[in-house]
Amino acid sequence: MRILVLNGSARPDGGTAAMVAAFARGARSAGHDVDVLDIARMDIHGCLGCEYCHARGNGSCVQRDDMDEVYPLWDAADMIVIASPIYYGSFSGQMHCLIHRTYAGGIPKRCTKMALLLCSGARGVYDNAEGIYHGFLQGYFGAEDCGVFEATTGEATSERMAERLQEFGERI
Ligand SMILES: Cc1cc2nc3c(=O)[nH]c(=O)nc-3n(C[C@H](O)[C@H](O)[C@H](O)COP(=O)(O)O)c2cc1C
């Protein structure tokens, strides 16, 4: 299975990165082809709302930036994993930009499975991000929700979480 993991954290040693690394390790050991994109290190602008994509662009965005690298992987993936820190009760700004830019092409072509990895400073702050995931991504795509993992920074970098996510990757 081809898996695309979108990491929305800018911190290479943060909790989200640790969760992503454990999941990717497990999935790769099970033979899956895993692409991890550190989107906070990519040049991805916000949607302009120009509707070029739907009016004249035939599903392609008018902007040329690193989304050109994301779109083919988005459409090739059998599974998409959204991983993000919680900022102001939702995804990171970089993740919001990426999600908005997928408006151009719409539903990913092959994706039948999804998962969500969230890392936060406090507990119980995940409702908005989960609502976007279930309402506008996994649910809207008709993809199976394979799991939602939530962790504070300390939990995300713990051995226990690494084991849980590696095992999740292995059995996906
Ligand atoms: C701009 C900003 C906004 C944040 N907002 C929240 C928040 O609303 N709720 C919360 O629990 N933690 C919040 N945090 C804390 C982060 O979620 C926490 O540091 C988390 O570990 C970040 O993930 P990372 O380690 O992968 O970078 C915020 C941090 C930043 C920098």
Ligand 1 center to residue 104 CA distance, Å? 29
Ligand 1 center to residue 146 CA distance, Å? 24
Residue pLDDT, tens place only, 49-108: 999 999 999 999 999 999 999 999 999 999 999 999 999 999 999 999 999 999 999 999
User: Is the CB of residue 90 less than 8 Å from the CB of residue 15?
Assistant: no
Rounded to an integer, what distance in angstroms lies between the CA atom of residue 153 and that of residue 119? 6
Nearest to 148 by CA among 18, 10, 19: 19
Ligand 1 atom at minimal distance to the Cα of residue 88? 8
From atom 28 of ligand 1, which residue's Cα is the shortest distance away?
A: 87
From atom 5 of ligand 1, which residue's Cα is the shortest distance away?
A: 87
User: Is the CB of residue 92 less than 8 Å from the CB of residue 129?
Assistant: no
| Total domains, the chain | 1
Which pTM value belongs to this model? 0.98
Phi, psi of 85, rounded to the nearest 5 degrees: -75, 155
Return the CATH number at 156.
3.40.50.360
Domain around 60: 2-171
User: Is the CB of residue 37 less than 8 Å from the CB of residue 81?
Assistant: no
